[in-house]
Structure formats: structure tokens, C-alpha cells
Structure 1
Amino acid sequence: MSGTPDDRSTREDGGTRAALRVRGLTARYGPVIALDDVDLTAPPGRVTAVLGANGAGKTTLLRTVSGLLRPKAGRVELGGVDLTEASAEDVARAGIAHVPEGRGVITELTVEENLRLGSLLGSLRSASRTPPTLADVYSLFPPLRRRVGHAAHSLSGGERQMLVIARALLSAPEVLLLDEPSLGLAPRVVSRIFAVLRDLVDTEGLAVLLVEQNARSALSIADTGVVLNLGRVVARADAATLAADDELRHAYLGF
């Protein structure tokens, strides 16, 4: 099923990237409503930040989009294709890469072995562009090149975060879902990771849906922000507008 013109973005090189669209998404954990009629779009070539306090529904949103949690209502589309009932494996094959909170590397494998798992997924799906190579991601994250033969359990927290993001990028995703990538990391490491993401968005047209409790950091690289509170969207605007709204920042964003 092909997307309508506004579902996809045409790049100068003639390729296309798909927009992620969420409409009326509602999800529950038992009797608790975690998402309540959420609408948002993550277009190609943009960073869309999802902000809010603990318990706002941010992680639930990513889990529902990636197929880990089945919604009670609503729709998830990528490039006009309905993925609402798709399994997590099929969502990944469609082009949505999810990097959950917690730096989920396979600790017994080496850096290169972890990365080759991402390359394998990239080879199994019909990507709209040529997947990056191991050399490409080592150029993006030079610390990984220096640790290529080391077991993942020996990496620092920052190196593990670079590894899981690099592994996701090797699947050549249309959309990258990131859950709290700055959590527990030194500011200089966060700056490096965010700079790489911003460059990929600007040069490759990647769509990034970034969940962050550190609203100040997220808004510094985001184009658009969506603020959740108790599962509902309470604000959406360009990043600069949200950052400048003192009342909203104090009420929902903690700075």
C-alpha cells in the first residue's frame, strides 16, 4: 500500500523517506490508561521530541509504535502503511528501529558481533536506501572502532549507548525511536551522540522520535516538541517556541 504525497518526503537525490503518523493512539496497562487519544507525526529530516515527567506515557508511546504493546484504539502508519496490528519484528522490517532505555547490548558478544546483528536486519528488509556499513558507523562513533573486538560488557555507559544506536542505524531505518538516550551519561557524551543524530537527520533525511526527560537537551536538537501529561498531549509546537514558554516549561518540563 503506497503512501499519499504528504506521507512521504522526496529528497534531492530522488529517494524518499517515510513519515511516521500516530492517530488517536490509546493504550492501557490493565485498568490504567497510559496513552489517551494521542496524535503526532514524525516526518523525515526532523527530530520530534516527546517530553514530559515520569509517568507521562513517553515510553509507552514508543513501545506501542514499535509493536511491543498492542493499542486499545488508534492507528500507527509508516508512509501510509498501517502497522497498528503488526508484530515488533514486522515493524522493524518495515523500517522503524527502536532503541529502548537501558542500553540493551548483548553483553557476551563483541562490539562487532552486536553490530552485525543490525546489519543482518538491514539485509532482510527492502530499504529505501543502501544500508550503512560497519565502516560508516565506526566513522560516526570512533570509540567503537577502538573497542571492536571487546565484549560489550566491558564498554562504558556512553560506549554502550553508541553501540545500540549504531546497531539500529545498520538496519537502515526510516524512523529511529530513542528512549532516554542521555540517561546517566556525561554531558560531553550526550553532546557527541546528539550531534551525530542531528547530522543524520540533516544529511540523510532520517526521522527521529526522541523521548527525553531532559527537556532542555532534547529541545536543543529537536525541530518539534510534543508534551505529554498523564497520557495526553498537552502541547505541541516547534522546539524554540516550547523552550521559550516559561509557564509550560515550569508546569511540565522541569526547567
Structure 2
Amino acid sequence: MSGLLVLDSVSAGYGQVPVLHGVSLSVEAGSITAVVGANGAGKTTLLRTVIGQLRPASGNIRFDGTDLAATKVEDMVRRGIALVPEGRGVITELTVEENLRLGGLWRRDRAAAAALLARMYELFEPLDRRRKAPGHQLSGGERQMLALGRALMAGPRLLLLDEPSLGLAPRITAQILGLLRSLCDDTGLTVLLIEQNVRSALAVADDGVVLNLGSVVAARPAADLAADTDLRHTYLGF
């Protein structure tokens, strides 16, 4: 199995409670892979295992051909992996600009960091207007933009997104997912997307993976999954 990110027979869980059971999947460079499934399917556990917050009980995870097992969580950003967790993770006491600068804090090249900051304001125009506003004053959509912008400030090759549409209006969801699609097409960014809004996720993704009770039940092009009526009715609820 090839790809920028490859999971090979990964099992993981919490203590003695198994959640993932022999999960294998591949995320191709420059693509969006959507992982979908019902609540409790193991989607968030999958992301936590990729980012190193959980260690696999068995199997292995490779990023650009290198086993991630030996990589510390704090080193993931330097390796080119960024996570936007569920709940957005904005530091509400800091301003928009402070949150964004925090995302690029590890960068030594100040000119490159300044250029990235300017780029974030181009991508997320509402944030440009609210540079000095503290995070607690932002709307839900603005907070999601800020969380995404902060992750992009690290200049990742692989972006992990956990439920970016949670609590957002459909218009804002469409805007954010459309931006992800454009970033992949224009910059070669690779995205592993966990998303409760299955229709929207499969509409922007290249590939889709359906999880059920911690196991992969389907992994195909996203358009094929969306067109499979039996699969949708059985596992995805629409």
C-alpha cells in the first residue's frame, strides 16, 4: 500500500478497551481522504493514533515512508503534520493574530512566517477584519477559520481535521470545505478529514473510508461511496 500516509493493520484503544481493529488505509499526496461513519465508529481515535496521542497496540503508521511510532507528539509539526481537533482548540484569551503567530512559532525564518501570516488573512478575510479581537469574541465559523489558519501557519504537508463542521451553519461548512478543496488543488496539501456531515465530506473528497465499530467496511473513491445506496443506508444514515 502506497501513499503519503499509510496505516497498515492498526489496532488501538484506551487501556484495555479496544477501539480500532486492524485498520488499513492510504492517503495519497495532494488529496482529501474523508473518514466517515456513525458516532462511536472510531474516527477520532483514528486521528489520535495517527498524531501519536495514542500508541497502536499493533500494526504501523508510515508518513512519507517513515514509521511514526518513534516520533514524539511534539515533533509531529516539524515532520509536516498538523491537527485541527474537534472543538477547534482556539486559545480564547489570545487575539486572532496571536493565535495565528502561535501556529508558526517554531519557524526560524521570520520572513517566511510573515508571508504565511499575510496569506492566512487572504484566505480567511473575516479574520483580517478581526486581527486584534480575542478568541472568545469570535463566532463559531470564525473560530473554525482561526483553528484552521493556525494549523496552516506551520506549513504542513498533511492536515488532520476532526469534525470541522460541528456546530456550524451549512453556508460556513460549505465555505470551509470548499477552501480545503482549493488548498489541495492549488498547493498540494494533503488532508485526512473526519466529518459528521457525510454528504459534504464526500462531495469534496477524492477518496472515502467508512468505519464501523472500529473496522474499515469500505474504502473507495468518494463519488463511488456517495453513489452506493445500500452502503449509505446501512452505515451512513442517508
- Compute the TM-score of the two structures, normalised by the length of structure 1: 0.89
**1:62 is paired with a residue of what secondary structure?**
helix
Alignment partner, residue 14 of structure 1: none
Alignment partner, residue 54 of structure 2: 69
- Equivalent positions of 1:92-241 (< 5 A) are 92-121=77-106, 123=107, 133-241=116-224
Q: Look up the equivalent residue of 1:29 and give its one-letter code.
A: Y
Q: Does 1:43 align with 2:28?
A: yes
Q: Look up the equivalent residue of 1:117 and give its one-letter code.
A: L
**CA offset at residue 32 of structure 1?**
2.0
With 234-243 and 85-94 compared, the bigger mean Cα shift is at 85-94
**CA offset at residue 124 of structure 1?**
5.6
**Preserved contact between residue 93 and residue 134 of structure 2 (Cα < 8 Å):** yes
Q: CA RMSD in A?
A: 1.4
Partners of 2:226 and 2:108 in 1: how far apart? Answer: 41
Q: Look up the equivalent residue of 2:205 and give its one-letter code.
A: A
**CA offset at residue 43 of structure 1?**
1.3
- Structure 2 residue runs of 5 or longer lacking an equivalent are none
**CA offset at residue 197 of structure 1?**
0.5
Which contiguous aligned blocks of 4+ residues in structure 1 show a shift greater than 3 angstroms? none
Alignment partner, residue 10 of structure 1: none
Instruction: Please list the CA deviations of residues 97-155 of structure 1 after superposition, one character each: whole Å capped at 9, or x if unmatched.
Output: 0111001111110000000011113x169xxxx66611101111100001100001100
Equivalent pairs counted in the alignment come to 234
Partners of 1:92 and 1:65 in 2: how far apart? Answer: 13
**CA offset at residue 81 of structure 1?**
1.1
Instruction: Please list the CA deviations of residues 65-120 of structure 1 after superposition, one character each: whole Å capped at 9, or x if unmatched.
Output: 00111111111111111112322111222111011100111111000000001111
Q: Look up the equivalent residue of 2:102 and give its one-letter code.
A: L
Q: Look up the equivalent residue of 2:98 and give its one-letter code.
A: E
With 45-54 and 25-34 compared, the bigger mean Cα shift is at 25-34
Q: Look up the equivalent residue of 1:56 and give its one-letter code.
A: A
**1:147 is paired with a residue of what secondary structure?**
coil
